[in-house]
Structure 1
Amino acid sequence: MLKEMNLNEFEKQIIDMKKPMVLKFTAEWCSGCRQLAPIVENVERQLGDEMAFYDVDVDKSLDLAQKFGVMSVPTLILIKNGEEADRVTAPAGNEEAIIEFLNR
């Protein structure tokens, strides 16, 4: 299970950011999010030394979702050097596609 992220925690993490960050915007009611969760967890096990992975529940952290303009879930946002580097909404449900997205 990924660590949860909210706006306050994000602002703290971004200051001390040493490696890229992946924010997975999700919601409890989202079936696509539930399907994607174990896939992203497997990717985290593979890339966790290189990237920090976080869950953002849009219902609990609406402010962070608004900060990034997230309108649909699931959405993955890659943060590099403190800024959004890339995003994908409703990513393909396989590890290879997610790893390819993260390595762009």
Structure 2
Amino acid sequence: MKESLHTLLNDSTPVLVDFFAEWCGPCKVQAPVLKEVKSDIGDSVRIIKIDVDKSPAIAQQYQVSGVPTLILFRNGQPIWRQSGVASKKQLVDVLRQHI
């Protein structure tokens, strides 16, 4: 059973949301970086992907106007945000600050 987005974001475990689109070139560059980050960080952070074309209301709710946009949530609150491709080092550094 899939957890609802609301339940996921309100958890005490940090959740990194990757807002992306299938047609987006930079999003395709970001995807393997996120996989590497997940293998480094493990289960201390959840990483989920939201396709802005399939979920435009969610993208609008979080004021995502460009892709890729990464938003880190903890306890339902956005605590870090970046638009554009982020490097593995940058993401690991940010995530480790919030674990």
- The alignment status of 1:28 with 2:22, answered yes or no, reads yes
Q: Could you list the runs of 5+ residues in structure 2 that have no partner in the other structure?
A: none
Tell me, which stretches of 5 or more residues in structure 1 are unaligned? Answer: none
Q: CA deviation at 1:48?
A: 2.8
Q: Secondary structure at the match of 1:49?
A: helix
Please give the secondary structure, in 2, of the residue aligned with 1:71: coil
Q: Percent identity?
A: 32
CA contact (8 A) 1:77 1:88 kept: yes
| Corresponding position of 1:96 | 89
Q: In the comparison of the two structures, how many residue pairs are matched? A: 96
Aligned-CA RMSD value: 1.9
Q: CA deviation at 1:74?
A: 0.4
1:20-64 residue CA offsets vs partner (Å, 9 max, x unmatched): 000000000000000110011110112131101000100011111
Q: Which runs of 4+ in 1 moved over 3 A?
A: none
TM-score calculated relative to the size of structure 1: 0.82
**TM-score between the two structures when normalised by the length of structure 2:** 0.86
The aligned runs of 1:1-104 (5 Å cut-off) are: 9-15=4-10, 17-92=11-86, 94-104=87-97
